[in-house]
Chain A
Amino acid sequence: MAEVVFDQASRIYTPGAKPAVDKLDLTVTDGELVVLVGPSGSGKSTALRMLAGLEPIDAGSVRIDGRDVVNVPSKDRDIAMVFQNYALYPAKTVRDNMAFPLKMRGMDKAEQAKRVADAAELLGLTEYLDRKPKALSGGQRQRVAMGRAIVREPRVFLMDEPLSNLDAKMRVQTRSQIAQLQNRLAVSTVYVTHDQVEAMTMGDRVAVLRDGQLQQYATPSELYDRPVNAFVAGFIGSPAMNLLDLPRSGDGVLLGGVEIPLSREIRDAVGSAQTVTVGVRPEDVAVDSEGSGAGIKAVVDVVEELGSESYLYAHLIDSDGRDDEATTLVVRGPGRTTVRYGETIAVRVDAGAVHAFDPSSGLRVA
């Protein structure tokens, strides 16, 4: 039941070099699940470890419920953490692993036992309480790690890629379990992952980081619908958004000899610039099955059939009819597509769904 605030918090490994986390501003409201996501080296884990007290905060501050924790050791921050490799104590049983933080707090035995039993019940671990971690499966170990965090009843949960050691099926299953559990316990949670699907499905809000800097902090739908820059646009969503630098032409931009109209709003924002970075999600590009001849021509390089939908990876044919290998498009098609490799198709872009970014700064223009 806590609010976590990163206030211009920075971590500088070597003075003078680029900070690992650069003036991070982030507020996690009470009971919220916030996901920090970004490619490796983006500083997401470092930020989490700063909150955990495992990395010093070199500048700025981090507050938990208004209390500055810069000089507070981990154990006094009232947090619990789930590690990527679970960090279960190998010599202790599941029961002792879960009771360890309580024992360290000098809680009385009866209360320890009760809390461990409750958590074990909640996580379906009751029958494994007397086993050692090495006798458990990956999923069970993960749940023990969760259990060890839960029994503490901390103000904040910290999770550092807790699902990355599970297989794909287990990951999806555990993902929703964690989200449900967090919802039920209503404990503020900071969750780190490099997987944008995890971020989108689990987070109440998602913070996208890159090179130590916060790019955007918003709800998943906001991130998806209105990415603040080309990086976020390309990072969120799978397959990634098509991002193309296109020349202006009339009231729009020119793609494969076809003019795609831009909204008035975008046109005003772009002004007299000669090129615009245009972003279109694969689902906003459609195969023009009528083949009226007016569409953008493209040659299919790869067809991915996923059953419920399909993705076509294609390169364009320019207005002179030549292959333009450098300009590629991902197009979402129906689950049962008849399009095959090497085929030339005509595609249509949904002009209303176009995102526009400044080609040099990458920032959203409108």
Chain B
Amino acid sequence: MAATIEDTATTTSTAARAEGPRRRSGIGPLLLTTLTWIVAVGFFFPVLWMVLTAFKTEAAAYTDPPTLVFTPTLEQFRAVFDAGIGPYLANSLFATVVSTLLVLVLATPAAFAVSLRPVEKTQDVLFFFISTKMLPVVAAIVPIYVVVNEIGALDNIWTLIVLYTAMNLPIAVWMMRSFFLEVPKELLEAASIDGASLGRTLREVVLPIISPGIFATALICVIFAWNEFFFAVNLTAANAGTVPVFLVGFISSEGLYWARLSAAATLAALPVVLAGWFAQNKLVQGLSFGAVK
């Protein structure tokens, strides 16, 4: 239901309302639409170019002037896999999925505790969570490195999982809190009068309502975990390295092979781009800690 409401919300525009019922027959709107399309394609073009280049031969990639006409080839993707992107993809996938699941397991009850049945000092707790997002990561990297090194957890995928969970947890708590707050209080009261236990109420009444929200939260966590580079490059190497780490290594070894690099970059970006396209509406909500619906 939430999705339907959002869809209608996105189709009503204030500008359209400002124009009102007056039928516009001039070319103004057409020009604006054309301009919008040009800008949009312009913004997207580098990405398109990257994907196109990934299907070129190296010779075709280095033409001056650049060309749009070429015979597509999968050669570059093959080369990227030959160079061993596989394990890195697997690491990224594992770290992303496991940290996201951990985030959901920790954040769902926490968000419940700061929304539907609030504990005392809720606002302090919420601000503590958000404050951890504001402290620059770089200030913590030194001790993290020292500690991780000390306990022999360098180049271990679980190190990244723990850090990614901590990194995404505050966003998830805030975001899910805003979803929990959308559950009408009357529903909980009705359930309690109907004799449902707390667990049952959560399972049968609350969960169906917030499940789209949980899904959106998960997508946001996936995006951040997959794209993370700073921890990965400093704490992992060949063993637990993720895709961004592979990409950086690949540049130093194959820096001159643009088509091959593009193939690697395309592979690195693809999962998150797809996830993000899917969750466009939720991106802002996640990034703004639930402040904007």
A positions within 8 Å CB-CB of B: 52-54, 73-75, 79-81, 83-87, 89-92, 100-101, 104-105, 134, 148, 152
Please name all residues of chain B whose beta carbon is closer than 8 Å to the beta carbon of A53 when the two chains form the complex.
192-193
Residue of A nearest to B200 (CB): A104
Given A87-B184, A104-B196, A81 contacting B1 (CB threshold 8 A) = no
B189 to A89, Cβ gap below 8 A?
no
Taking CB atoms and an 8 Å cut-off, the chain B residues in 181-203 that contact chain A are 184, 186-187, 189-196, 200
Do the beta carbons of A54 and B195 come within 8 Å of each other?
no
A81 / chain B contacts, CB cutoff of 8 Å: 189-190, 193
Contact B1 A134 (CB under 8 A): yes
Complex contacts, B195 vs chain A, CB 8 Å = 75, 101, 104-105
Decide: A87 and B189 in contact? CB cutoff 8 A.
yes
Chain A residues with CB below 8 A from B192, complex form: 53-54, 73-75
Most A CB atoms within 10 A — which of B184, B190, B191, B205? B190
B204 within 8 Å of A (CB atoms):
yes
B interface residues (Cβ-Cβ under 8 A, vs A): 1, 184, 186-187, 189-196, 200, 204-205, 208-209
Interface pair A100/B194, CB less than 8 Å apart: yes
Residue of B nearest to A158 (CB): B193
Inside 8 A of B1's CB, which chain A residues have their CB?
90, 134
Number of residue pairs A-B, CB distance < 8 angstroms: 64
Please state if B196 and A87 are interface contacts (CB–CB under 8 Å).
no
Q: Are B209 and A90 in contact (CB under 8 A)?
A: yes
CA separation between A191 and B196, bound complex, in Å? 24
Contacts of B190 in A (CB 8 A): 81, 83, 87, 89, 148
CA distance in complex: A90, B194 (Å): 15
CA distance A81 to B191 in the complex (A): 10
Q: Which residues of B contact A104 (CB under 8 A)?
A: 194-196, 200
The 3 A-B residue pairs with the shortest CB-CB distance, nearest first, are A91-B208, A75-B195, A104-B195
A-B contact pairs, 17 of them (CB 8 A): A53-B192, A73-B192, A74-B192, A75-B192, A75-B194, A80-B193, A83-B186, A83-B189, A85-B184, A87-B186, A87-B187, A87-B189, A89-B205, A90-B1, A100-B196, A101-B195, A134-B1
Which one, A52, A84, A89, contacts B193 given CB within 8 A? Answer: A52
Q: How far does the Cβ of A111 sit from chain B's closest Cβ, in whole Å?
A: 16
How far, in whole Å, are A101 and B189 apart by their CA atoms in the complex?
12
Extra inter-chain contacts (4) besides given A52-B193, A89-B191, A90-B209, CB under 8 Å: A83-B186, A87-B189, A89-B205, A90-B1
Q: Give, as a whole number of angstroms, the nearest-CB distance from A336 to chain B.
A: 40
By beta carbon, the residue of chain A nearest B185 is A87
Alpha-carbon gap, A74 to B184, bound state (A)? 18
Most chain B beta carbons < 10 A, residue from A52, A79, A83, A105? A83
Are B187 and A54 touching (Cβ within 8 A)? no
B contact residues around A73 at 8 Å (CB): 192
User: In the complex, which residue of chain B has the Cβ closest to the Cβ of A73?
Assistant: B192
The answer on a CB contact under 8 Å between B204 and A89 is yes
Given known contacts A104-B195, A104-B196, A105-B195, A54 and B189 CB-to-CB distance under 8 angstroms: yes
Contact, CB under 8 Å: A101 / B186: no
The interface residues of chain B lying within 8 Å CB-to-CB of A90 are 1, 208-209
Q: Which residue of B lies closest to A133 (CB)?
A: B1
Chain A residues with CB under 8 Å of B209's CB are 90-91
CB distance from B212 to the nearest CB of A (A): 11
Closest A residue to B189 by CB, please name it: A54
| Chain B residue contacts of A54, Cβ below 8 A | 189, 192-193
A32, chain B: closest CB distance, angstroms: 21
The smallest C-beta distance from B73 to any residue of chain A, in angstroms, reads 49
Pairwise interchain contact A89-B200, C-beta atoms closer than 8 A = no
Inter-chain CA distance A55–B189, complex, in Å, is 10
Is A85 a contact partner of B186 (Cβ separation < 8 A)?
yes
Complex Cα spacing A134 to B190, Å: 17
**Distance (Å) between the CB of B146 and the closest chain A CB?**
49
Contacts of A87 in B (CB 8 A): 184, 186-187, 189-190
In the assembly, what is the distance between CA of A101 and CA of B193, in Å? 8
Do B187 and A89 touch (CB < 8 A)?
yes
Residues in B whose Cβ lies below 8 Å from that of A134: 1
Taken together as a complex, chains A and B put the C-alpha atoms of A136 and B253 apart, in Å, by 63
Return the chain A residue nearest B186 by Cβ.
A87
Residues of B within 8 A of A92 (CB): 204, 208
A85 to B190, CA, bound (A): 11
> How distant is the Cα of A53 from the Cα of B191 in the complex, in angstroms?
12
User: A51: shortest Cβ distance to chain B, in Å?
Assistant: 11
Instruction: State how many angstroms separate the Cβ of B225 from the closest Cβ of chain A.
Output: 29
Whether A74 lies near B186 (C-beta < 8 A) is: no
Q: Tell me the bound Cα distance from A87 to B209 in angstroms.
A: 13
Nearest-neighbour CB distance to chain A for B123, whole angstroms, equals 19
Q: Which residues of chain A come closer than 8 Å to B194, judged between CB atoms?
A: 75, 100-101, 104, 148, 152
Give chain B nearest CB distance to A97 CB in angstroms: 9
Instruction: For residue A177, give the distance in angstroms from its CB to the closest CB of chain B.
Output: 21
Q: Which of A87, A92, A100, A152 has the most CB of B within 10 A?
A: A87
Q: CA separation between A80 and B190, bound complex, in Å?
A: 9
Residues of A within 8 A of B208 (CB): 89-92
Q: Roughly how many angstroms separate A53 CA and B208 CA in the complex, as a whole number?
A: 25
Q: Of residues A74, A79, A80, which shows the largest number of chain B Cβ atoms within 10 Å of its Cβ?
A: A74
Measured between C-beta atoms, what is the minimum distance from A300 to chain B in Å?
A: 40
Give the distance in Å from the alpha carbon of A268 to the alpha carbon of B204 in the complex: 66
Shortest CB-to-CB span from A218 to chain B, Å, is 29
Cα distance A173–B148 in the bound complex, in angstroms: 72
Q: Which residues does chain A contribute within 8 Å of B191, judged by CB atoms?
A: 89, 100
Closest CB in chain A relative to B265 CB, distance in Å: 42
Closest to B1 in A: A134
